[in-house]
Amino acid sequence: MYENILLEREDSLAILSVNRPKALNALNAATIREIGQAIDEIAADSAIRALIITGAGEKAFVAGADISEINHITSSMQGMQTSQSLHGVFDQIAAMNKVTIAAINGYALGGGLELALGCDIRVASTNAQLGLPEVNLGLIPGWGGALRLQRIVGTSMAKYLVMTGERISADEALRLGIVQKVYPAEELMAEARKLALTIGNNAPLATAAAKRLLNAGSEMPLRDAIQLEQALFGHLTATEDCKEGTTAFLERRKPEWQGK
């Protein structure tokens, strides 16, 4: 079904691997379309609670965009439409109601880092290198990477990283809060699976509500964000999952979530 990605299911977990290792998993238009189709498929599958996005092979998560395609853009309107279409796929990832984890193995540069930044959580291997080097190509990040990075590291650091195009190590990305954990390469996917299952085993409605609150709240004035929090909390208290979770706590047993 897919030519440029691999999509696997392991019980309540899905793993999407960009599968162009000879091109260091660079994102061309066909690959982006396939990612969008896979995201739609996963979003519609109620059995899937969490998604891991990674890159096939050992060298790269995603080494960037396919530069040959960008080189053939002939007008500013075509360039803007390209940015808009790719934003749409990355926004799908950011907005889907399941937890998304980027397992960054090797290079995550340009569009690769932008893809990772669209995920909820990022874990990296010790040999990972991250960066937004678009200025070296006469460009800026066009798929939301600079703006998502700014919300993580602050304006001054984002300016430094975007304007220099500097690559940083996994340890530096951890220090800056771009990734949340760093593991030896041979342990990365096992740890990503463990994290995905830990989150996926929590109440699905509550996890989705937490994601919605934190995504939307980061764009709102605090008072508006608090009102959203109150509304979501109120909604959850009336769900069967909340009744099950609180009852299971009182009865000292493991809850059985229904997603209702």
CATH of 5-200, one of 2.40.110.10, 3.90.226.10, 3.40.50.2000, 3.40.1190.20: 3.90.226.10
Catalytic residue among 8, 34, 134, 187: 134
H or E element that contains 121:
strand 121-125
Give tens-digit pLDDT for 175-190.
999 999 999 999 999 9
Q: What is the mean pLDDT of each run of 10 residues along the chain (260 residues)?
A: 92 95 92 94 93 94 86 85 82 91 97 96 97 94 93 97 97 98 97 95 93 92 94 95 92 91
Task: Give the pLDDT score at 67.
Answer: 83
Half-sphere exposure for 248 (CA within 13 Å, toward CB): 13
Q: Which two tokens stand for residue 90?
A: 């990355």
Q: What is the dihedral of CA 6, 84, 102, 17, to 10 degrees?
A: 10
CATH of 204-251, one of 1.10.357.10, 3.30.1020.10, 3.30.460.20, 1.10.12.10: 1.10.12.10
Clarify whether 10 is annotated catalytic.
no
Question: C-alpha 160: how far from its chain's center?
Answer: 23
- Based on the number of CB atoms within 10 Å of its own CB, is 122 exposed (0-12), middle (13-18) or buried (19 or more)? buried
**CATH 3.90.226.10 residue ranges for the chain:** 5-200
Rounded CA-CA distance 58/177 in Å is 24
Rounded CA-CA distance 113/147 in Å is 12
Clarify whether 114 is annotated catalytic.
yes
**CATH 1.10.12.10 residue ranges for the chain:** 204-251
Catalytic residue among 8, 10, 114, 229: 114
Task: Give the pLDDT score at 73.
Answer: 84
Radius of gyration, alpha carbons of the chain: 19
Give tens-digit pLDDT for 200-214.
999 999 999 999 999
Global confidence as pTM: 0.92
